[in-house]
């Protein structure tokens, strides 16, 4: 069974992609750790941390592409799942600080001591154990997505309406997490981490491992997405994307298919967030802002919607551009980003992959699918 899925989902381009990501995931940490600093080929730690951040964004982009590119669900609130996964990991990291915090309280994180919490809130229990936190990284975004999706898809909320209420969802979470009495550190969020699984988060070795893990996460997420979209289920998803009502008339239950990919995608986003937090060293409510979620949609659009490789490429390229621009010409970044939104939607509906990849990727003897309706 397993080899069959693998051979089906790994065409030539996909194999090449996996190999490239794996090469990055192995070579960059090795060069950072083994080569002497100052060598021309040594990747400095700050750059590796930056690439690690891009890798997490790439996982988020994959999760968005899975639902938007293959199922036509445009989520403007996917950053919420990313941030929830991040918060779950952040809570574990906060508990690991222990008595090394500013106030030296062995149980309560610093901000709780500062805000006069008498004891740990019930939802913080268990986060001192890594396995529990890791489980929550999957369960919390998954559960929220399940409830939200179950309600939304069952009542056939589609198109822009769905986009708007996903935006409302992340906005509501933004407001909630900004509150001090919500128990997640208010607008400062969670930061000042020390250890992850006993390793210092600042150490080069830990960073290298985290980067390698992020690349692994891209590969795994990519393979899962490929497996989904090349399966029969994936065909139904594409049918739902192109005309949902026709699919329904053919006897499928679109809401079940949508719910499945929606939850899968939320869990992937959550894992991306969980890997993001230890590498960036902070998680705060700003991650919930609707603008962040929309920005991650544009990564997918730039790379090429409906091409998983494109999503990863778009996330890395746009964020690289952001790093360069905000460093060199900070005033121009928003102009550039805005122009990117406009130009990509107007002139480049297929994204970068539409420019370079499409002819090779489309099987010759199959009639081209109709253009996506939305």
Partner 1 sequence: MAANAFDRIRSIVLSVFLTVALTVPALAGAFEDGVAKFANDDFPDTEEAIGLVANSGNPLAFPIISALQDDRLSADPDTKKVYITRQDGKIIDAATGAPVDKLPDNAASVRLNNRLRRSVEAALGSLTLLSPDPAKRIAAARSVFKSHEESALPVVEGALAKETNKAAKDAFAEARAAILLNTSGISDADKLDAIATVKARGDQEALALLTDLSDQSPLVTKAAASAISSIQSRLAVWSAVQNAWYGLSLGSVLLLAAIGLAITFGVMGVINMAHGEMVMLGAYTTFVVQDVIRTNLPGLFDYSLFIAVPLAFLVAGAIGVLIERTIIRFLYGRPLETLLATWGISLVLQQAVRTAFGPTNREVGNPSWMSGAFELGQITITYNRLWILCFTLAVFAILLAMLRYTALGLEMRAVTQNRRMAASMGIATSRVDALTFGLGSGIAGIAGVALSQIDNVSPNLGQSYIIDSFMVVVFGGVGNLWGTLVGAFTLGIANKFLEPVAGAVLGKIAILVLIILFIQKRPRGLFALKGRAVEA
Residues of this chain that bind partner 1 (CB under 8 A): 74, 76, 148, 151-152, 154-161, 163-165, 167-169, 171-172, 175-176, 178-179, 245, 290-291, 294, 297-298, 301, 331, 334-335, 337-342, 344-346, 349, 374
What residues contact 317, with CB distance under 8 A and at least 6 apart?
302, 303, 352
In the bound state with partner 1, the residue whose beta carbon lies nearer, of 170 and 206, is 170
In the bound state with partner 1, the residue whose beta carbon lies nearer, of 132 and 325, is 325
What residues contact 255, with CB distance under 8 A and at least 6 apart?
153, 154, 156
In the bound state with partner 1, the residue whose beta carbon lies nearer, of 136 and 297, is 297
User: What is the total residue count of the chain?
Assistant: 374
In the bound state with partner 1, the residue whose beta carbon lies nearer, of 20 and 374, is 374
On whether the CB atoms of residues 314 and 302 are closer than 8 A, the answer is: yes
In the bound state with partner 1, the residue whose beta carbon lies nearer, of 163 and 214, is 163
Rounded to a whole number of angstroms, the distance between the first and last alpha carbons of the chain is 35
Least CB distance to partner 1 at residue 77 (A): 11
Least CB distance to partner 1 at residue 118 (A): 21
In the bound state with partner 1, the residue whose beta carbon lies nearer, of 22 and 157, is 157
Least CB distance to partner 1 at residue 189 (A): 16
On whether the CB atoms of residues 85 and 140 are closer than 8 A, the answer is: yes
CB atoms within 10 A of CB 51: 21
Least CB distance to partner 1 at residue 91 (A): 21
**Closest to 276 measured CA to CA, from 205, 207, 179, 226:** 207
Least CB distance to partner 1 at residue 150 (A): 10
Could you give the CA distance from residue 148 to residue 130 in angstroms, rounded to a whole number? 27
Least CB distance to partner 1 at residue 374 (A): 5
In the bound state with partner 1, the residue whose beta carbon lies nearer, of 232 and 371, is 371
Least CB distance to partner 1 at residue 133 (A): 25
Q: Which residues pair with 191 in a beta bridge?
A: 282
Q: Among positive and negative, which fits the CA dihedral 349, 78, 270, 279? A: positive
In the bound state with partner 1, the residue whose beta carbon lies nearer, of 52 and 185, is 185
Burial (CB < 10 A; 0-12, 13-18, 19+), residue 89, is: buried
Could you give the CA distance from residue 299 to residue 111 in angstroms, rounded to a whole number? 34
* DSSP tag of 289: -
* DSSP tag of 198: T
Tokens of 343: 């130009």
Least CB distance to partner 1 at residue 199 (A): 38
Strands 199-200 and 282-283: unpaired
Strands 195-196 and 199-200: antiparallel
Least CB distance to partner 1 at residue 146 (A): 14
In the bound state with partner 1, the residue whose beta carbon lies nearer, of 197 and 291, is 291
**Closest to 354 measured CA to CA, from 371, 339, 342:** 371
On whether the CB atoms of residues 281 and 265 are closer than 8 A, the answer is: no
């Amino acid at each position: 069974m397993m080899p069959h899925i693998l051979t089906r989902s790994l065409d030539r381009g996909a194999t090449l992609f996996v190999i490239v990501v794996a090469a990055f995931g192995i070579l960059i940490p090795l060069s950072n750790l083994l080569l002497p600093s100052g060598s021309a080929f040594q990747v400095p730690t700050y750059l590796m941390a930056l690439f690690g951040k891009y890798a997490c964004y790439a996982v988020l982009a994959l999760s968005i592409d899975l639902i938007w590119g293959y199922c036509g669900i445009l989520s403007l609130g996917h950053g919420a799942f990313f941030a929830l996964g991040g918060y779950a990991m952040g809570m574990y990291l906060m508990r690991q600080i222990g008595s090394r915090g500013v106030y030296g309280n062995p149980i309560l994180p610093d901000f709780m001591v500062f805000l006069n919490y008498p004891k740990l809130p019930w939802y913080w229990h268990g986060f001192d154990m890594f396995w529990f936190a890791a489980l929550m990284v999957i369960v919390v975004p998954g559960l929220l997505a399940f409830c939200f999706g179950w309600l939304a898809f069952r009542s056939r909320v589609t198109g822009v309406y769905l986009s708007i209420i996903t935006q409302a969802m992340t906005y509501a979470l933004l407001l909630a997490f900004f509150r001090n009495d919500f128990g997640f550190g208010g607008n400062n969020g969670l930061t000042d981490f020390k250890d992850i699984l006993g390793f210092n988060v600042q150490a080069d070795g830990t960073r290298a491992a985290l980067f390698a893990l992020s690349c692994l996460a891209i590969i795994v997420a990519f393979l899962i997405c490929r497996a989904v979209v090349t399966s029969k289920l994936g065909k139904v998803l594409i049918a739902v994307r192109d005309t949902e009502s026709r699919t329904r008339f053919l006897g499928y239950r679109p809401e079940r298919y949508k719910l499945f990919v929606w939850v899968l995608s939320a869990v992937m986003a959550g894992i991306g967030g969980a890997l993001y937090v230890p590498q960036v060293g902070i998680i705060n409510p700003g991650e919930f802002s609707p603008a962040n979620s929309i920005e991650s949609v544009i990564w997918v659009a730039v790379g090429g919607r409906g091409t998983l490789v494109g999503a990863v490429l778009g996330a890395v390229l746009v964020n690289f551009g952001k790093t360069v621009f905000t460093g060199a010409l900070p005033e121009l970044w928003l102009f550039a980003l805005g122009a990117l939104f406009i130009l990509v939607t107007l002139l480049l509906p297929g994204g970068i992959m539409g420019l370079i990849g499409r002819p090779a990727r489309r099987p010759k003897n199959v009639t081209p699918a109709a253009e996506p309706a939305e």
